[in-house]
């Protein structure tokens, strides 16, 4: 209920309201029905003969009944009462069957809808996070939160929520009957209940803690498994399988520790609950027996109260059983809600929508540190301009800040100070859709969809011409399913060069004003390299190109080179000029940090 109060949008649903209302209405109706039935019932335990009288009254014996009576069949008013009671019980049984069906259906539907909604909401909220959110969290952790934690939450709610409520309402209703039968006995019962509630709350806190810790370890396990399975070749080539198995075993042992803690807590609580129940039973019998002896309570009423108490006990058993599970689920979902609640650092995306960019880039006094490492200044008052249509190569020692420049230009992060501008407007003022990103990763869908990724309506012709420009058309057509071939991690295994050409096609299909390329450092065979180089030179025409270059041929083909070192632009000018300057650029070339051989290309 607390979570409901904090997250009304995620948890509140017409179905839960309907389910709650139905349960309460059905319980109240049942109690009223039982109460009415009780009112005109003549208790077999009635203390006085006066109460018994109507049952035995000969006036109610009709001639017909008399006939049966003579034949040895006893039919009198008590038989009518008996029959009516049976009919009413049958009605209660039929009504409760329908009510049970509706109740369980409503709650199960609620849980199914809730699980679906929380997964949707969680996924959508994670997708909208700033990139620095992902710097601090492993992918495996997020996947585990999305799948396992939400499932635990759903499972803990599904049978539990309705049983919990039913147990609670039954306990309250039966308590009402005890009050009506004997106030003394009800005071005794009420004195006992708080003790149990305190123990139950403590139990809930412990189970919630176990839920949080257990799911965190599950997340680590998911992360480790994902990392190892996706990097199985690296693990094999370094023969580190045994180390990885040991690391995994360490975490499984941790989880086992929480399993043991849960077993201990659960059994302790259940036995305490049992002790509570038998003690209550004994005390009621002892005190009730005393009241019967001093004739304050009838024997029949004591038996009735003992039977009611058994109902309360039954409710307590149900509440016990489900409460721990529910609290574990609440604990498990804590991180899910925490992730969803994390506010974006910079208040979301901008609102400027623009179709025709000129492609002018300007970094003005940009200082930046990654939010995950706020004390390490990566860019230090960096300034440069790139005019429309210019081809600029970013070079420099590894760690100098080249990729960071590109990330800032794509508005993945905000500078700590200064401005990153596109066509004179700070990039964070544009909407996300206006600034396209071109990730090299291929998704598990058709090559056509991969090229057209992120575009709403893209005709087949656009895809084909982009693929032709990117030198990808021929190899795609050579495949059995052509453009419908499924790419991605588990689909088709494309070669490095082919992946890069599909990535270039993806960039080109949008006909962007600014093309950002990052030459990969992985080696390609000379034939694919030539193909990718050709695709690159095709793609440069008529647009501003910013390329993080690792190959000398790419740098030489650029109009300008920016040497980025220690977060600043150390040198700026045409490649031939910088080579003659004899500074950092010429040193990089000499040290072959910019390779002339078959290293690299675009991603």
Residue ranges binding ligand ADP (CB under 6 A): 135, 370, 372-373, 378, 396, 398-404
* DSSP 3-state of 273: helix
Nearer to ligand ADP, 207 or 382 (CB): 382
b/e code 162-190 from CB counts within 10 Å (16+ = b): bbbbbbebbbebbbebbeebbeebbebbe
Alpha-carbon gap, residue 361 to 426, rounded angstroms: 10
Alpha-carbon gap, residue 529 to 496, rounded angstroms: 10
Nearer to ligand ADP, 522 or 526 (CB): 522
For residues 487 and 494, is the Cβ–Cβ distance under 8 A?
yes
Return all residues near 88 (Cβ < 8 A) that are at least 6 apart: 33, 37
Least Å from the CB of residue 142 to ligand ADP: 16
Q: In 3D, which of 132, 181, 201, 597 has the Cα closest to residue 342?
A: 132
Give Dmax over CA atoms of the chain in angstroms.
132
Residue with tokens 């210019």: 390
Nearer to ligand ADP, 379 or 536 (CB): 379
Nearer to ligand ADP, 137 or 335 (CB): 137
Nearer to ligand ADP, 119 or 342 (CB): 342
Alpha-carbon gap, residue 583 to 588, rounded angstroms: 9
Least Å from the CB of residue 379 to ligand ADP: 8
Nearer to ligand ADP, 365 or 525 (CB): 365
Nearer to ligand ADP, 405 or 503 (CB): 405
Least Å from the CB of residue 598 to ligand ADP: 21
Least Å from the CB of residue 371 to ligand ADP: 8
Least Å from the CB of residue 154 to ligand ADP: 34
Least Å from the CB of residue 396 to ligand ADP: 6
Least Å from the CB of residue 546 to ligand ADP: 12
Backbone angles phi, psi at 353, to 5 degrees: -110, 130
For residues 98 and 30, is the Cβ–Cβ distance under 8 A?
no
Say which DSSP state 388 is in: T
Least Å from the CB of residue 582 to ligand ADP: 22
Least Å from the CB of residue 372 to ligand ADP: 5
Nearer to ligand ADP, 293 or 375 (CB): 375
Least Å from the CB of residue 332 to ligand ADP: 29
Backbone angles phi, psi at 219, to 5 degrees: -65, -40
Element (H, E) at 77: helix 77-127
For residues 428 and 568, is the Cβ–Cβ distance under 8 A?
no
Return all residues near 53 (Cβ < 8 A) that are at least 6 apart: none
For residues 325 and 111, is the Cβ–Cβ distance under 8 A?
no
Nearer to ligand ADP, 351 or 398 (CB): 398
Q: Quick one: angle between helices 160-181 and 299-341, nearest 10?
A: 150
Nearer to ligand ADP, 175 or 378 (CB): 378
């Amino acid at each position: 209920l607390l979570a409901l109060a904090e997250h009304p949008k995620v948890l509140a649903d017409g179905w839960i309201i309907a389910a709650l209302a139905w349960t309460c209405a059905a319980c109240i109706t049942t109690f009223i029905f039982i109460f009415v039935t009780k009112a005109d019932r003549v208790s077999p335990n009635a203390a006085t003969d006066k109460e018994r009288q109507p049952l035995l009254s000969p006036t109610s014996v009709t001639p017909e009944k008399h006939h049966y009576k003579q034949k040895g069949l006893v039919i009198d008013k008590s038989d009518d009462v008996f029959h009516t009671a049976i009919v009413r019980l049958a009605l209660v049984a039929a009504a409760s069957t329908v009510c049970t069906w509706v109740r369980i259906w409503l709650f199960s539907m609620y849980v199914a809808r809730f699980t679906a909604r929380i997964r949707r909401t969680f996924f959508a909220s994670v997708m909208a996070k700033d990139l620095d959110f992902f710097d601090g969290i492993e992918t495996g952790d997020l996947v585990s939160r999305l799948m396992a934690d939400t499932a635990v939450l759903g499972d803990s709610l599904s049978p539990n929520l309705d049983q919990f409520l039913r147990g609670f309402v039954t306990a309250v209703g039966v308590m009402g009957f005890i009050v009506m039968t004997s106030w003394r006995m009800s005071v005794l019962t009420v004195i006992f209940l708080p003790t149990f509630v305190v123990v139950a709350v403590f139990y809930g806190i412990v189970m919630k803690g176990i839920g949080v810790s257990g799911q965190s370890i599950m997340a680590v396990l998911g992360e480790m498994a994902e990392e190892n399975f996706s990097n199985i070749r690296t693990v094999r080539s370094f023969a580190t399988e045994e180390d990885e198995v040991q690391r995994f075993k360490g975490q499984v042992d941790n989880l086992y520790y929480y399993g043991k803690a849960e077993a201990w807590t659960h059994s302790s609580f259940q036995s305490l609950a049992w002790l509570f129940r038998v003690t209550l039973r004994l005390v009621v019998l002892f005190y009730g027996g005393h009241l019967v002896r001093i004739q304050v309570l009838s024997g029949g009423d004591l038996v009735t109260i003992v039977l009611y108490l058994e109902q309360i006990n039954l409710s307590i058993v149900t509440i016990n059983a489900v409460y721990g599970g529910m609290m574990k689920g609440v604990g498990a979902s804590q991180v899910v809600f925490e992730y969803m609640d994390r506010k974006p650092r910079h208040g979301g995306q901008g609102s400027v929508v623009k179709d025709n960019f000129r492609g002018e880039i300007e970094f003005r006094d940009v200082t930046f540190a990654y939010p995950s490492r706020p004390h390490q200044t990566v860019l230090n008052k960096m300034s440069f301009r790139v005019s429309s249509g210019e081809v600029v190569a970013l070079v420099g020692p590894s760690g100098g800040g080249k990729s960071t420049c590109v990330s800032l230009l794509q508005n993945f992060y905000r500078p700590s100070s200064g401005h990153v501008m596109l066509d004179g407007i700070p990039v964070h003022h544009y909407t996300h859709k206006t600034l396209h990103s071109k990730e090299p990763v291929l998704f598990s869908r058709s090559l056509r969809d991969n090229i057209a990724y992120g575009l709403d309506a893209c005709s087949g012709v656009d895809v084909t011409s982009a693929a032709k420009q990117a030198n990808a058309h021929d190899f795609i057509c050579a495949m059995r399913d052509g453009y419908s071939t499924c790419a991605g991690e588990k689909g088709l295994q494309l070669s490095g060069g082919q992946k890069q050409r599909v990535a270039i096609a993806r960039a080109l299909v949008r006909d962007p004003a600014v093309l950002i390329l990052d030459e990969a450092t992985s080696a390609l065979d000379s034939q694919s390299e030539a193909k990718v180089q050709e695709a690159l030179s095709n793609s440069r025409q008529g647009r501003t190109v910013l390329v993080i270059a690792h190959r000398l041929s790419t740098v030489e083909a650029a109009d300008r080179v920016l040497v980025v070192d220690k977060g600043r632009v150390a040198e700026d000018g045409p490649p031939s000029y910088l080579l003659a300057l004899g500074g950092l650029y010429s040193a990089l070339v000499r040290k072959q940090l910019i390779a002339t051989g078959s290293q690299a290309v675009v991603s």
